[in-house]
Amino acid sequence: MIPALHVQSVHKRFGDLHALRGIDLTVEQGEFFALLGPNGAGKTTLISLLAGLSRATSGRLAVMGRDVVDDYRQARRALGVVPQELVYDSFFTVREVLRFQSGYFGIRRNDAWIDELLENLGLADKADAYVRNLSGGMKRRVLVAQALVHKPAVVVLDEPTAGVDVELRQSLWEFIRRLNREGHTIVLTTHYLEEAETLCQRIALLKQGQIIALDTTANLLASHATSQVALRLDPPRLPEALRARLCAAEGEMFRLALQSCGELEGVLASLREAGVAVRDLEVVKPDLEEVFLELVK
């Protein structure tokens, strides 16, 4: 099967700035994929290259097997991008914007799909409103609709929930999950790492224009973060045998590292032997934020 996205040895320079440094990446059809990294890591630059908004200094990029330079029209038709910035035309209504966007891809009589997008994105009652009069969150919904109006095989979401309310976030992800189940490939960049952890099967982590980690979400969590147990102790002292596990201590609360939950019984046994009682206990599972911070330090 042809990969949804194929990026091979891609470099991008802006004068003296080496923004992308030999990116190699393949995203398979039907994946829900996360592209993460701190600000300035190169995520938006890579998206711009895929969308044909900028050209790579060297290397090759393809969308659904179509080279983004040599076969630009077909590559662009296969891709829908929701940009970070709020970019909109002030002089048209929401429905007019979506009709024009359909026309850019040669699609006529697209009203049935436009109506479905408006309904699923909570824009049905704003269909005849001018985009300039919408709130920031509503404008972002219009951007999502524009990216999906031509039913692209690959959808790239660049910070799609930045500055939007909880209700939109939930409805948006429900709709995007549906698209993914129907076979669309989804690529997400976000600073809300809990979204990536919940939604995405694989993750690529960029730092200073290079991929420093690429694996399934489960493998990244298992290999780069440990579970912890938070204990309220009486008296508030930690036996010497457990000092090596200590991650943090505050008053009566002690946070200890666990390689697996099976080690918890040994911790409790050491406390009993030292005559220390446990007044409260909570096992804290590792999350993607811990992995992110560990890898980008």
Q: 5-222, what's its fold?
A: Rossmann fold (3.40.50)
Question: What does the block give as tokens for 215?
Answer: 């694996």
**What does the DSSP assignment read for 183-211?**
T-EEEEE-S-HHHHHHH-SEEEEEETTEE
Domain boundaries, the chain: 5-222, 226-286
218: its two tokens: 């489960």
24: tokens are 């190699």
Both structure tokens of 189: 């960049």
Among 90, 252, 116, 106, smallest CA distance to 182 is for 116
149 and 114 Cβ atoms separated by less than 8 Å: yes
Residue closest to 18 by CA, chosen among 69, 57, 55? 57
- Confidence (pLDDT) at 225: 63
Q: What is the reported pTM?
A: 0.81
Query: What strands lie across the sheet with 17-27, from one edge to the other?
Result: 17-27, 5-14, 58-63, 66-67
Amino acid at 33: F
Pull the structure tokens for residue 197: 């952890």
What SS3 class is residue 68?
coil
CB atoms within 10 A of CB 106: 9
* Tokens coding 83: 């940009």
Q: HSE, CB side, 13 Å, CA atoms: give it for residue 177.
A: 12
Distance (Å, rounded) from C-alpha 159 to C-alpha 54?
Answer: 19
Token code pair at residue 192: 């809300």
Find all residues with CB under 8 Å of 121, minimum gap 6, and list them: 141, 144, 145, 171, 172, 175
Per-residue pLDDT of the chain (297 residues; tens, 9 = 90+): 899 999 999 999 999 999 999 999 999 999 999 999 998 899 999 999 999 999 999 999 999 999 999 999 999 999 999 988 787 788 899 999 999 999 999 999 899 999 999 998 889 999 999 999 998 888 888 999 999 999 999 999 998 877 677 777 888 888 899 999 999 999 999 888 888 888 999 999 999 999 999 999 888 877 766 778 889 999 999 999 899 888 888 888 998 888 777 788 899 999 999 999 999 988 877 778 777 777 777
Whether cis (ω within 30° of 0) applies to the bond prior to 235 is: yes
